[in-house]
């Protein structure tokens, strides 16, 4: 059995990012397929202890790493007690020493109750807030099942921008009825709000969601693919012109304002994932925690960790994953360096890559490949085309 160290080279070998999943929300949005659960009450003390125990388990396996980032995601982590957030940050920086440019992000919903906690979350150590505004329009917010109004959203953004050094917000577009005019107006408004990082997601209908059953019953029709593609191109043009080009398919930032944590995923670095449903990748293994909060707690009581599944990452799987992640980035991926790291002869079919360069879907500089704006629209198709069919171990492996 050949296992690989999938860390990104000598410097990254010593680093780790930490993802903490808080699985609770006040209600379930109809488009959401994240691991989120609604519970009548949550024992904050029990959850603090559970997450600290899960973290300590990972830390014991990964001694001496440099901690590059912590990301509190969910669910709705802005519903965590700030003291829980602080306890986890303190424990993490006790286990690992923070790297230069260490970043701590927390995802927040913009209702007034959560906005009232921003100061305490800042005092707890969070220095970057990712705010789920989703829309500036009350009708669209109601359609999306969001628990906040447009007014609350603007107010929360204002508070966040005073409180945190870095603030990003999310919008969802390509809703039924969206037009180039309506989306251009929304995006212009977003770009006028002084943010240096924006996450702009197209509405997709995910299996198992309430929207999926509504679409199946004919309650509404998703925007058609061509119209959605036109909105994507418009987004690319407007954000580039405003100095926040896409550095990843759905993420836009001024230079230097990219999400450091998410870059670790896309550049295929190591990360520990704790909390219900969290995924991780470290020591040549992929990990997944129990998704259901109650099962996660039982696993912790039984085993001292919340792991439901842990499996070795084989070189060809790691190669495919690295390619999927890396091609999301505008900077692309050095397919030669990744192949070398994984002990493979190659991870792409260079003949096919060159054909896609000639057709304007990819660019190539030595062994570094990247998608063009045109190629990004067809990313899934490109990945299927260029992945090496039979990556073989290199002689040196």
Candidate segments 28-36, 214-222, 276-284, 350-358, binder of ligand SF4 by CB under 6 A:
28-36
Candidate segments 26-34, 97-105, 257-265, 268-276, binder of ligand SF4 by CB under 6 A:
26-34
Considering the complex, state which of residue 292 and residue 355 has its C-beta at the smaller distance from ligand SF4. 292
Query: How many residues sit in the footprint of ligand SF4 (CB under 6 A)?
Result: 10
As given in the structure block, the two tokens for residue 300 are 């912790």
**What's the full length of the chain, in residues?**
397
- As a whole number of angstroms, the distance between CA 266 and CA 332 comes to 9
202 binds ligand SF4 (CB under 6 A): no
**Nearest-approach distance from CB 147 to ligand SF4, in angstroms:** 8
**Nearest-approach distance from CB 54 to ligand SF4, in angstroms:** 20
212 binds ligand SF4 (CB under 6 A): no
84 binds ligand SF4 (CB under 6 A): no
**Nearest-approach distance from CB 170 to ligand SF4, in angstroms:** 9
End-to-end Cα spacing for the chain: 12
Candidate segments 29-37, 266-274, 324-332, 363-371, binder of ligand SF4 by CB under 6 A:
29-37
Long-range CB contacts (within 8 A, 24+) of 215-223: 220/176, 221/176, 222/174, 222/176, 223/174, 223/175, 223/176, 223/177, 223/178
As given in the structure block, the two tokens for residue 366 are 């030595």
Pick from 13, 34, 87, 193 the residue near ligand SF4 by CB under 6 A.
34
Task: Considering only the C-alpha atoms of the chain, give the largest distance between any 2 of them, rounded to a whole number of Å.
Answer: 62
Considering the complex, state which of residue 28 and residue 368 has its C-beta at the smaller distance from ligand SF4. 28
29 binds ligand SF4 (CB under 6 A): yes
User: Which run of H or E residues covers position 106?
Assistant: strand 97-108
Pick from 7, 15, 68, 76 the residue near ligand SF4 by CB under 6 A.
76
Residue-wise burial string across 145-180, b where 16 or more C-beta atoms lie within 10 A, e elsewhere = ebbbebebbebbbebbbebbebbbbbbbbbbeebee
Smallest Cα–Cα separation from 32: which of 42, 19, 23? 23
89 binds ligand SF4 (CB under 6 A): no
109 binds ligand SF4 (CB under 6 A): yes
Residue-wise burial string across 209-247, b where 16 or more C-beta atoms lie within 10 A, e elsewhere = bebeeeeeeeeeebbeeebbebbbebbbebbeebebbbb
Considering the complex, state which of residue 68 and residue 105 has its C-beta at the smaller distance from ligand SF4. 105
As given in the structure block, the two tokens for residue 203 are 């509405």
75 binds ligand SF4 (CB under 6 A): yes
Considering the complex, state which of residue 109 and residue 186 has its C-beta at the smaller distance from ligand SF4. 109
Residues near ligand SF4, by CB under 6 A: 25, 28-29, 32, 34, 36, 74-76, 109
């Amino acid at each position: 059995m050949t296992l690989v160290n999938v860390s990104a080279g000598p410097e990254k070998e010593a680093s780790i990012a930490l993802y903490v999943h808080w699985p609770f929300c006040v209600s379930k949005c109809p488009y959401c397929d994240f691991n989120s659960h609604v519970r009548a009450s949550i024992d904050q003390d029990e959850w603090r202890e559970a997450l600290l125990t899960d973290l300590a388990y990972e830390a014991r396996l990964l001694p001496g790493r440099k901690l590059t980032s912590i990301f509190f995601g969910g669910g709705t982590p802005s519903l965590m007690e700030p003291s829980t957030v602080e306890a986890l940050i303190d424990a993490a920086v006790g286990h690992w020493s923070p790297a230069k440019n260490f970043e701590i992000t927390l995802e927040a919903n913009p209702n007034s109750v959560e906005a009232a906690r921003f100061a305490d979350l800042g005092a707890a150590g969070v220095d970057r807030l990712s705010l789920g505004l989703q829309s500036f329009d009350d009708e669209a917010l109601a359609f999306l099942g969001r628990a906040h109004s447009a007014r609350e959203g603007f107010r929360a953004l204002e508070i966040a921008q005073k409180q945190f050094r870095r603030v990003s917000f999310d919008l969802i577009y390509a809703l039924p009825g969206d037009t180039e005019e309506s989306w251009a107006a929304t995006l212009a408004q977003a770009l006028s709000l002084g943010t240096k990082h924006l996450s702009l997601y197209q509405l997709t209908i995910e299996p198992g969601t309430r929207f999926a059953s509504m679409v199946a019953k004919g309650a509404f029709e998703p925007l058609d693919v061509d119209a959605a593609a036109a909105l994507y191109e418009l987004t690319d043009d407007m954000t580039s012109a405003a100095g926040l080009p896409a550095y990843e398919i759905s993420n836009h930032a001024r230079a230097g304002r990219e999400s450091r944590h998410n870059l670790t995923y896309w550049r295929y670095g190591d990360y520990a994932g704790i909390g219900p449903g969290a995924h991780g990748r470290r020591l040549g293994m992929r990990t997944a925690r129990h998704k259901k909060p109650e099962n996660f707690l039982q696993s912790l009581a039984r085993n001292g960790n919340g792991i439901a599944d842990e499996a070795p990452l084989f070189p060809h799987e790691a190669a495919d994953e690295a390619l999927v992640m890396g091609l999301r980035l505008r900077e692309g991926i050095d397919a030669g360096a990744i192949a070398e790291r994984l002990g493979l002869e190659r991870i792409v079919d260079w003949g096919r890559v060159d054909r896609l360069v000639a057709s304007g879907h990819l660019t190539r500089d030595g062994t570094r490949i990247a998608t063009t704006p045109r190629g990004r629209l067809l990313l899934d198709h490109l990945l299927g085309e260029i992945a090496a069919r039979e990556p073989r171990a290199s002689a040196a492996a």
